[in-house]
Amino acid sequence: METTRYQFVKLGMHLEYLRGIGSISVMQSGSLAEFPHLLENMPGSRYSVLNVVQTIRAVLAQFEVLELKQSQEAAAPWLPMLGEMEQALGQSRVQAEVTLRDHFAEKLVVIARTVSLAVKEETSR
């Protein structure tokens, strides 16, 4: 199958979404020093776990289609986290209301940045 530019644009948009994950609950604490990446990614509300799971699944599927092996390896730390999020969704009656916790969100952002760098490196060859 021939890859298109649209597939790469879609991948980039998914990665930007994941890099923008943040939480506002840290505002209750006196310092944001504990969450350095959240300072530049503070949305108005927490991200829905359901949306994050769907986006990570889409990114992983795109890596398969685009045959981005290095990027898949960089995304490996998402797999156990994906399992945790899916378990939390399975335990909730209203999946759309399940939101990310601060430390978990911060870890997702760090991984998303690493994955983004891997994609840039792998696609620039």
What's the length of the chain?
Answer: 125
Q: How many domains does the chain have?
A: 1
How many other CB atoms are found less than 10 A from the CB of residue 107? 17
Range of the domain at 80: 5-123
Between the ranges 7-11, 16-20, 28-32, where is the mean pLDDT highest?
Answer: 7-11
Q: Where are the alpha helices (DSSP H) in 20-101?
A: 49-66, 69-74, 78-90
**Whole-prediction pTM:** 0.79
In 3D, which of 47, 46, 50 has the Cα closest to residue 58?
50
* pLDDT tens column, 45-98: 567 899 999 999 999 999 999 999 999 999 999 999 999 999 999 999 988 888
What pLDDT was estimated at residue 47? 78
How many other CB atoms are found less than 10 A from the CB of residue 104? 18
> What is the rounded distance in angstroms from the CA atom of residue 104 to the CA atom of residue 102?
5
